Amino acid sequence: MNEDATTNETITLTKGSAELPHIYIPYNPAHIERIRRIKGRTWESKQKVWIIPYTTSAIQEFMNQFDSEDVQIAPELWVESEDLQQKLAREVMHGAKSRYRRH
């Protein structure tokens, strides 16, 4: 387990090196199948982390693939990602509690 994840079941999206989002994810065949749907994703075996492009489509695809209750998103991505900011703003406007957890 890495220091960014809080439990064995938590999927954690962080800002990795070279400004590429890193996804720390517990091994689960269903999760692996979903993450493989993200175009441009790669697996870094030494760090045991999935890396996705820092693009609108990759971030949206990630958000669509996973249940928000299982995902934690690093604060720097909330600040930098316009897609995440817009999603949060829409949920706040509709009176919904944010579905994605910040850590």
Tell me the per-residue pLDDT of 17-52, one tens digit each, with 9 for 90 and over: 767 899 999 999 999 999 999 999 999 999 999 999
Nearest to 100 by CA among 8, 52, 20, 86: 86
pTM, two decimals, is: 0.69
- Residue 88 and residue 85: Cα distance in Å, rounded? 5
- Residue 41 and residue 57: Cα distance in Å, rounded? 12
